[in-house]
Structure 1
Amino acid sequence: MKQQYSKQENSKDFEEFHHIEELKELFLLNSINDGSSFQKVVKLGGDQGLAKQLKSHLLKGIDSEAQVQENREKFGNNDPIEKEPAQLYELILECFGDTMLQILLVAALVSTIIGIINEGVKTGWTEGATIFLAVFLIVSITAGNNYLKERQFQQLRRKLDDGMIQVVRGGIVEISIKEIVVGDILQFGIGDIFPVDGLMIQGSQIKVDESPMTGESDEIKKLPFNEMTQQQLNNKDHHHYSPFLISGTRCLDGNGYMLVLQVGQNTIQGQLKLLLNQDNPPTPLQQKLEGVAENIGKLGTLVAILTFIALMGHLLYDVFVDHKHELFTLLSLQLIIEAFMIGVTIIVVAVPEGLPLAVTIALAYSVGKMKDEQNLVKNLASCEIMGGANNICSDKTGTLTQNIMQVTALWIDNHTYLNQEINITSKISKQSIEIMSESICYNSIANPTKDRNTNRWTQIGNKTECALIELADNFGFKYSNYRQNDRILRQIPFSSKRKKMVTAILNPKNQSIRIFSKGASEIILQQCFRYVSNNGAELPLDKTKKDDILHNIIENFASHSLRTIAIAYKDLEPQSQAIKGFVNAKAHVHQINEDEIDKDLTLIAIAGIKDPIRPDVAESIKQCTRSGVTVRMVTGDNIITAQSIALECGILEKNRAQQEFEVIEGKRFRDLVGGLVNAKNEEGNEIKVVKNMQIFQKISKEMKVMARASPEDKYLLVTGLIQEGNVVAVTGDGTNDAPALKKADVGFAMGITGSDVAKDAADIILIDDNFSSIITAMKWGRNIYDCIRKFIQFQLTVNLVALFMSFTGAVILKQSPLNAIEMLWVNLIMDTFASLALATEPPSIKVLDRQPYRRTDQIVSPTMYRTIVGASLYQILVLTFILFLLPKFIDCSIPEELIGQKYPKNVVQMSIFFQAFVLMQVFNSISCRQLDYHTRNPFANFCNNPLFWVVQTITVIVQVLLIQYGGKYVKVSHLTLFQHLLCVGFGIGGIVFSILFKFIPEQLCQKIHLFREEEIKTEKMDDTLTSKLRRKSTMRLHTSQRSKHDIGSLKKMSSDKL
């Protein structure tokens, strides 16, 4: 194969591709597996020939913006594949798909026909047409609201799909993932998810997880294209060592460069996404409301049936007892149709479609505001779950600290230099500066940039490495000069397990192999047996000297909140002539065991790196304590550094009685609790649980800081805390943090420093990597829960009153006090308008001054029942008074201008009933804004939600217009000023009554449970959950999702196709 490649490389007659489909053929999975794709690249001139045809260069990339634009136009852009949101007319048609509305429309049509037959075309059509118009307006407003929310969620999804990545365009530049084009040279490293398809042209120790695309769980080793040609591999091995990198797969180990060959919808992942269009599953709160909604719906259906039966009973009595009219007449048919429409309308009103809508609106409003406050929400459920979080396991770097690293202490030449002393090169031997700086430059992968005008650095990549690179630059060593491909033999990237990074180079001075090592200072120190002294000479490093360095240098630096990094090296002397030369030396180094590489090092220096605490962290920690939330710091730093930072930011109190497990190292914690073991949950599924839960509970009561913690330790801690029944939030930035982020109730990934894998596993991305942003998420989470409770207070009151009065009127007065049109208007008020007004309440800072919600808390609390019962009782009393006694106190006679027209005698009384009913709901919505038992003032935070007052103003204006000008269309009479003011007085009385009701002890309502609530399991929702749920009403947003089986089938289908 090597000879074939060389022959092709020397030939001037390479094959050329002329269409984007030919690039797609390289990524047919079968062709990758059998080596056909590799041979095709060989025929195209290898990686160099392919890059040339793409107008790119393997070292320089695409070096002109014009060429970037040309490639974008020719091969497409890398915009994310997303489902096109439903159009407005589609959402309207979806609403009209509801069975109850269809029945109501059919009944309205029959009513119109009968009306025209009885009264003629001129007036007979009005009632039916009015119902048609009312239904259309309700559906249009609801669909419009859903349309706006879908557009808002689409914008958030687009934000999530974006990110920054480094490519070579004349030099290393950072661009948006959306800006990648075919021909770009893309840099990747551990934890990155490949956003495009490409060919690896350079890399070391690359291992890839291709399971998201191929279903294979094994780690796949990858080799650069040129190394493939040198390995003389058999065709059967092409799959496991191919240089092709597939979009959507993850880099598990190593770092390198790839030539981009497919972007956007042309990638394997893009074509798969075209087949998979999934919606968001319902959130836990929406599930919890299922039981409430179901019971309200059942109650409404029962009342509707009883009301219809009562009206039919009166009809039959009039026909067979009073003989007022015959049964088989148009009049009887019209009365039957009217009774039927009343019954159907009661069901439409009773079904609480506003409940899920309110959750959706609250989430949409909240995630938009949270994004403005540096929280990018991926999983909608996480917003509301944060309302119950009582434990936060936080990283240190970048979350509690500013992630602006700077070397402020340096031990070198057996001397310690602090702050500005470090830059005085005359004090440090030239030999020590040279070997330390070379070690830093070779043994790093970060790419910080320096502004030539301001001399300020932009730290790109690992911030610890950036600080060291800046140190080397101050000494005159430019890292870009030391990363030549013909010098670096092997790199072993940093891992949380090894806590070090190693790079082997071919020493140009004597062709020997030099190994540079950097990492956790106490680990590197134990692997060193010599150190560089003040004259550049190497002296023995015995136990006494090690102890001296450990206590007086490392621990001293750590006690001042400095992260300590040790820098070391060793030379491998050539054993024979056979390993001379780059290729042979590279092969020799790769044969050396990693344990052998770590032995017999020479210590060069120990750097103390300062990462200042964020200025608002201490106050945020105090706020968490007031909010009933325990903050635990989980860090990879040594125990002294960790304790010092915990004291500085307030996780540990300075004047405290120290407890045994307050600060603990990850290994000790793991050993004490025994790690994780397999067990079975209630459904019989196998899960991981803490082995020694009794010890864990003892530790968790005291533990605030875990030092030298690995991602496995963090996962163990999170698992145990959830096992205890806690609601746990976790922050993470590394690839290995993904299991803990996924296990947590809410996972926070760092938006700046987080790896793609961490962001993919997280529920919320902290855009600014700031701990205070978690407090923001907690505040909005509690507020979402409050908003839904406010809405439930309002809606249950309207439902109970409307159902009671409809049935009472039908039984006693032979008619419903509210006709179909009026009830549809009430339905619009209590669902769409109320959800807009109450689900968009901004959070008060006071929500953080109480304990978090528990998993077992009922959504309808005793305090809420007291409010609902009080408001319902008052309204029922007032409306009953209006219905039966009002004419005895005020004049309710029909206006003169309406005499002789087709109006019932009690039209004014029924109009006052309608007006009072609606205005009492307006004033009751003001009372429902308060949930706090201790807040008796209904006007607290009176002006903090302008949308609430806009909605209420619109409601009042439309209501007055309906009364004054609705006439025969709405079956009402216009009212006098006194009658309007009387209705306003009834509404104000509701507020007064609600204040008085708050003096009733909450304990009297403790055992009231009118509506069953669904139990929500503590595990995170599975993707298949929505396949078990069905849409319960016309107004709620569609949340169907394919099952895992269907998705698996689609993946298989796409793999066969691709």
Structure 2
Amino acid sequence: MSAIIMELLLQPDPMQLHGSINPNKKRWHKAFATIYCSRAFLSPPSTVAIDVVVDHHLNHLVKDKNLRQLSLLKGPHGVAAALKTDPHHGITGDGQDLAARRQDFGTNTYPSPPTKTFLHFVLEAFKDPTILILLACAALSLGFGIKEHGIKEGWYDGGSIFVAVFLVIAVSAVSNFRQSRQFDKLSKISSNISVEVVRNGRRQEVSIYDVVVGDVVCLKIGDQVPADGLFMEGHSLQVDESSMTGESDSVDVDIGVNPFLFSGTKVADGYGKMVVTSVGMNTLWGEMMSTISKDTDEETPLQSRLNKLTSSIGKLGLAVAFLVLVVLMIRYFTGNTEDENGEREFNGGRTKADDVINSVVGIIAAAVTIVVVAIPEGLPLAVTLTLAYSMKRMMADQSMVRKLSACETMGSATTICTDKTGTLTMNKMKVTKFWLGKDSFEGAMKMGRCAVELLREGVGLNTTGGVYTSREGLEFSGSPTEKAILSWAVAELGMDMEDVKRGCEILHVEAFNSEKKRSGVLMKRVGSDHEFHVHWKGAAEMILAMCSHYYDLEGSKKDLNDEERLQFNHIIQGMAASSLRCIAFAHKQSDEVKLETERKIEEKGMILLGLVGLKDPCRPGVKKAVEDCQYAGVDVKMITGDNVFTAKAIAAECGILRPGQDLDGCVVEGAEFRNYTDEERMERVEAIRVMARSSPFDKLLMVQCLKRKGHVVAVTGDGTNDAPALKEADIGLSMGIQGTEVAKESSDIVIMDDNFASVVTVLKWGRCVYNNIQKFIQFQLTVNVAALTVNFVAAVSAGEVPLTAVQLLWVNLIMDTLGALALATERPARELMERRPVGRDEALISNVMWRNLMAQAAYQIVVLLVLQFKGKGVVGVRAEVKNTLIFNAFVMCQVFNEFNARKLEKRNVFEGLHKNKMFVGIVGVTVALQVVMVELLNKFADTERLSLGEWGICVGIGALSWPIAWLVKLIPVPQRPFFSYVSFNKWRGGA
């Protein structure tokens, strides 16, 4: 075999690879072999050699950036031909073709990291030191109990603790396991992006997972390159390879020097087409992904703050538990405690060692249980449940949460900076007016043949869109603006895009970007080697500034003097005031190619060819959505690239600018805002409602200024140019339909329907998440304060704790888990939008919450202590029944207080209750389980059966919390935070 083929194969002995022949690839062998051998003037190589070429070099061609191998394959078009791909029509794309390509070259997917099993979360729960101590106490209690009373009776105390602990572990593991699965599902959804490919001559959007080797992929600014491949055609294409190389500078892509494109990189400028050579794990990105495993655990800022709060309360509980332990030990060893027969439990050396150890274990278990009930493990769980529930509901409301912290932070948002196109408007552009010179058209047009021909070229060549014929008729691709102009040109100008392209040769293209707001093309007509044409298209006032002449109705060239320039400006302003986006076309003919420095097409001395006005109607309901935000105290600002007249018209239509509002300082242009001094910007930024002709830097600058003023800022965006502002904002909201992948990756939440009304829904859910967490904090701290105080006072004064270890574990289980779930499922209420936003400085535990929880805790403490010390006389029950009464009354207080927690400020706690079936169901389950605990599991819970009258007493004690809550809410609270010296209030609600 030839040395060239040997070098290409990179194998010392190709025959050694005979066993690796893939029979499924034989259909590709001949194509590759013919190209290699014809290029190297060789006879066809063996089947083994061909197989190595296909297997090895197709995958490594792009990875190694091997121009020599690419040259031997006749460049990107040669590779496309070998892959049976037409550069213009793509692959056939039928089911058989796609299946064969997936079988031969693999799929564009990556193996997921191992999913954490349920057993993993069970083991994680066992790592809790408190759980381990309780298990040790349970084991000792079980051992001594069986030794003293036998297996039949002796297992109750220790076994009860075991069962309670395992129930806590099971609930914790199930909750965390479900959360992990939720994150996995969310990750798959956020990774499933769409790309545009050409199949059977038709552009279509497919999932990135459906891309196959041989596909022709269309790339534009902001797109993610879906697989490794080769650049075939396009203009000014630049790629951001920082995800691969870490270098921030964009890389130029062209056929001659660098035609290589890598999966995972982003298109920074220009547009083009690529042929896919490797997918999935065969790509360079795939090799990197194989060494990376994603961790699905994500702790949000609020969860972090709540963990600190939990830690602080836990330390307080630990101190109380230690005091209880010391007091109970002293009382026991000094003979001040009695058993159930009224005899002293410790009688010096006459007490059996087993009895001493058993009693000490019981005391330790009681102290440890106080720690268990003191630590509000339910706080982080409540956040998890609330966020998981909210994420699911928000997905149904067209909002996909990419970062959990955004749910919390959105509840604190004070300002929303929104773009216009596609968010406030429908992004369904239609040309409604056309001006040629000083003549306007709204229907059929009559103009000179020369002007029509130039317009066809200006539209058909200077575009990233396309026109295709299908069974249903003509199909238009590209951005909404491109599709609208192409549709107009076909209908009104009779443009045949294929004819236009066949009759012209494009020499250079300057792609559109948000900075210059225009695109240009340098071309020549076929057969006219010395006649060159420049076409520009873009924002009307910018194109007009480039022009020195204009075409009239007959196609004659006229001078554009100052007076006529002013007339054209009035035309542009008039269209803008009618909410029309104004796009201008300009043309210039030259006898020689004039490319300015840095390969920029000539921009001076152009001839104005025409103006088109495109209407993009406002979305239905957007005005009400804006009013809802303003009613909720959230300021809405519109930042757009349109001129100031269009911006004003749309803002007024949407309600951002109100009729009769003084516009002084409310509307600015980006350049004006940019040129303010820092002091002027900070002084005026809050008053601004509309920023027109803005650049990405202007948007970023506004977000930075608002944050410096103390605002919590949400930003909507759909373009690559929006990425800096989306990242800088407290909450980035990208658009799911028109949004580029760069914008989506820079955002926290994706609005699936591109509708501003969905932004308001996100705002409601954000406030709901924050409010639900506050509800549970109030509810949980009431339980903790009451339980700690009652057990501590009883232990110090009477030498016993009325609430046993098993009973406290039971309360901890049903109140932490079921209580969290019940309050986490409260849906957004209208009242949430009637409040001012909490911003950055609102205390997590508000004055209202302190008032409510202290009142309820005080009531529970008084009632339970009265039952503890005067229960026999007041209620007339035995000691054993008294303890059960205390336990049951305590649980009933929490059940009724759960209703109080639904409304932090409103006195009617039953409002909207019928809509939350989950809450009612959980309360019902809690009561049912408590009945079972008291009436059936007497040995397990150390309880006695209660009569109907005694049940009535417990329910009555719990029900009294309702009128108490109603009366307490009449008490006004001061604005200054309670307990300002306590570090709790340093953990703010805004992220």
| Residue matched to 1:237 | none
Kindly provide the CA deviation profile for residues 151-181 of structure 1, in whole angstroms up to 9, marking residues without a partner as x.
2222222111112211111122211112111
Answer yes or no: is 1:954 the counterpart of 2:925: yes
| Equivalent position amino acid for 2:643 in 1 | N
Structure 2 CA distance, aligned partners of 1:409 and 1:990? 69
Aligned pairs for 1:657-806 within 5 A: 657-659=662-664, 661-673=665-677, 692=678, 694-806=679-791
Aligned pairs for 1:892-1041 within 5 A: 892-893=877-878, 906-932=879-905, 935-1003=906-974, 1006-1009=977-980, 1012-1013=983-984, 1015=986
Structure 2 CA distance, aligned partners of 1:303 and 1:442? 79
1:49: Cα distance to partner? 4.2
Is this contact kept in 1: 2:62–2:260, CA < 8 A?
A: no
Structure 2 CA distance, aligned partners of 1:331 and 1:19? 82
| Residue matched to 1:499 | 517
Going from structure 1 to structure 2, the CA distance change for 1:478 and 1:364 (only over 3 Å counts) comes to farther
Aligned pairs for 1:511-660 within 5 A: 511=529, 512-551=531-570, 553-574=571-592, 597-659=602-664
Going from structure 1 to structure 2, the CA distance change for 1:989 and 1:82 (only over 3 Å counts) comes to same
Is this contact kept in 2: 1:378–1:764, CA < 8 A?
A: yes
- Please provide the CA RMSD for this pair: 2.5
Is this contact kept in 2: 1:879–1:913, CA < 8 A?
A: yes
Structure 2 CA distance, aligned partners of 1:149 and 1:871? 32
| Equivalent position amino acid for 2:640 in 1 | T
| Residue matched to 1:16 | 50
| Residue matched to 1:1043 | none
| Equivalent position amino acid for 1:775 in 2 | V
1:110: Cα distance to partner? 1.4
Is this contact kept in 1: 2:59–2:283, CA < 8 A?
A: no
Name the SS for the 1:534 alignment partner: coil
Structure 1 CA distance, aligned partners of 2:131 and 2:139? 12
| Equivalent position amino acid for 1:334 in 2 | N
Name the SS for the 1:411 alignment partner: strand
Going from structure 1 to structure 2, the CA distance change for 1:72 and 1:1010 (only over 3 Å counts) comes to farther
Going from structure 1 to structure 2, the CA distance change for 1:11 and 1:205 (only over 3 Å counts) comes to farther
Is this contact kept in 1: 2:306–2:380, CA < 8 A?
A: yes
Q: Figure out how many residues of one structure are paired with residues of the other and give that number.
A: 943
| Equivalent position amino acid for 2:890 in 1 | F
Answer yes or no: is 1:385 the counterpart of 2:409: yes
Going from structure 1 to structure 2, the CA distance change for 1:1016 and 1:262 (only over 3 Å counts) comes to farther
Going from structure 1 to structure 2, the CA distance change for 1:134 and 1:266 (only over 3 Å counts) comes to farther
Name the SS for the 2:362 alignment partner: helix
Going from structure 1 to structure 2, the CA distance change for 1:907 and 1:1005 (only over 3 Å counts) comes to farther
Give 5+ residue unaligned stretches, structure 1: 229-240, 575-587, 674-691, 894-905, 1021-1058
Answer yes or no: is 1:317 the counterpart of 2:334: yes
| Equivalent position amino acid for 1:776 in 2 | T
Answer yes or no: is 1:71 the counterpart of 2:76: no
Going from structure 1 to structure 2, the CA distance change for 1:1018 and 1:244 (only over 3 Å counts) comes to farther
Structure 1 CA distance, aligned partners of 2:58 and 2:145? 66
| Equivalent position amino acid for 1:793 in 2 | Q
| Residue matched to 1:289 | 306
Kindly provide the CA deviation profile for residues 97-142 of structure 1, in whole angstroms up to 9, marking residues without a partner as x.
2121112112211111111110112221222222222211221122
> Could you tell which deviates more after superposition, 343-352 or 1004-1013?
1004-1013
| Residue matched to 2:285 | 269
1:632: Cα distance to partner? 1.1
Aligned counterpart for 2:156 among listed residues 126, 142, 145? 126
Give 5+ residue unaligned stretches, structure 2: 5-34, 338-343
Going from structure 1 to structure 2, the CA distance change for 1:297 and 1:727 (only over 3 Å counts) comes to same
Answer yes or no: is 1:882 the counterpart of 2:867: yes
Structure 2 CA distance, aligned partners of 1:867 and 1:918? 18
Structure 1 CA distance, aligned partners of 2:533 and 2:76? 30
| Residue matched to 2:28 | none
Aligned pairs for 1:127-166 within 5 A: 127-166=157-196
| Equivalent position amino acid for 2:510 in 1 | I
Answer yes or no: is 1:336 the counterpart of 2:360: yes
Name the SS for the 2:984 alignment partner: coil
Is this contact kept in 2: 1:349–1:799, CA < 8 A?
A: yes
Structure 1 CA distance, aligned partners of 2:771 and 2:902? 9
| Equivalent position amino acid for 2:572 in 1 | I
Going from structure 1 to structure 2, the CA distance change for 1:595 and 1:186 (only over 3 Å counts) comes to closer
Is this contact kept in 2: 1:732–1:749, CA < 8 A?
A: yes
Structure 2 CA distance, aligned partners of 1:953 and 1:448? 62
Answer yes or no: is 1:251 the counterpart of 2:282: no
Structure 2 CA distance, aligned partners of 1:155 and 1:931? 34
The structure, 1 or 2, with the larger RCO (C-alpha pairs under 8 Å, 6+ apart) is 1
> Could you tell which deviates more after superposition, 246-255 or 779-788?
246-255
Is this contact kept in 1: 2:429–2:614, CA < 8 A?
A: yes
Structure 1 CA distance, aligned partners of 2:845 and 2:361? 37
Query: What is the TM-score normalised by the length of structure 1?
Result: 0.85
1:1018: Cα distance to partner? 11
Is this contact kept in 2: 1:80–1:161, CA < 8 A?
A: no
Answer yes or no: is 1:301 the counterpart of 2:318: yes
1:702: Cα distance to partner? 2.4
| Residue matched to 1:411 | 435
1:875: Cα distance to partner? 0.5
1:273: Cα distance to partner? 3.0
Name the SS for the 1:388 alignment partner: coil
| Equivalent position amino acid for 2:852 in 1 | T
Name the SS for the 1:1013 alignment partner: helix
| Equivalent position amino acid for 2:882 in 1 | Q
Structure 2 CA distance, aligned partners of 1:243 and 1:844? 55
1:267: Cα distance to partner? 2.6
| Residue matched to 2:295 | 278
| Equivalent position amino acid for 1:955 in 2 | T
Structure 2 CA distance, aligned partners of 1:1019 and 1:838? 20
| Residue matched to 2:386 | 362
Going from structure 1 to structure 2, the CA distance change for 1:521 and 1:11 (only over 3 Å counts) comes to farther
Name the SS for the 2:330 alignment partner: helix
Aligned pairs for 1:228-239 within 5 A: 228=256
Is this contact kept in 1: 2:198–2:217, CA < 8 A?
A: yes
Is this contact kept in 2: 1:283–1:380, CA < 8 A?
A: yes
> Could you tell which deviates more after superposition, 276-285 or 943-952?
276-285
Name the SS for the 1:632 alignment partner: strand
Name the SS for the 1:943 alignment partner: helix
Is this contact kept in 2: 1:20–1:75, CA < 8 A?
A: no
Is this contact kept in 1: 2:223–2:741, CA < 8 A?
A: yes
Is this contact kept in 2: 1:16–1:53, CA < 8 A?
A: no
| Equivalent position amino acid for 2:583 in 1 | I
Query: What is the TM-score normalised by the length of structure 2?
Result: 0.91
Name the SS for the 1:470 alignment partner: helix
Is this contact kept in 1: 2:193–2:741, CA < 8 A?
A: no
Name the SS for the 1:383 alignment partner: helix
Name the SS for the 1:925 alignment partner: helix
| Residue matched to 2:21 | none
Name the SS for the 2:974 alignment partner: helix
Is this contact kept in 2: 1:289–1:1014, CA < 8 A?
A: no
Going from structure 1 to structure 2, the CA distance change for 1:821 and 1:287 (only over 3 Å counts) comes to same
1:539: Cα distance to partner? 2.2
Is this contact kept in 1: 2:156–2:939, CA < 8 A?
A: yes
Structure 1 CA distance, aligned partners of 2:801 and 2:616? 71
Structure 2 CA distance, aligned partners of 1:722 and 1:17? 60
Structure 1 CA distance, aligned partners of 2:519 and 2:425? 23
Is this contact kept in 2: 1:718–1:743, CA < 8 A?
A: yes
Kindly provide the CA deviation profile for residues 380-404 of structure 1, in whole angstroms up to 9, marking residues without a partner as x.
1111111111111111111111111
Is this contact kept in 1: 2:467–2:497, CA < 8 A?
A: no
| Residue matched to 1:689 | none
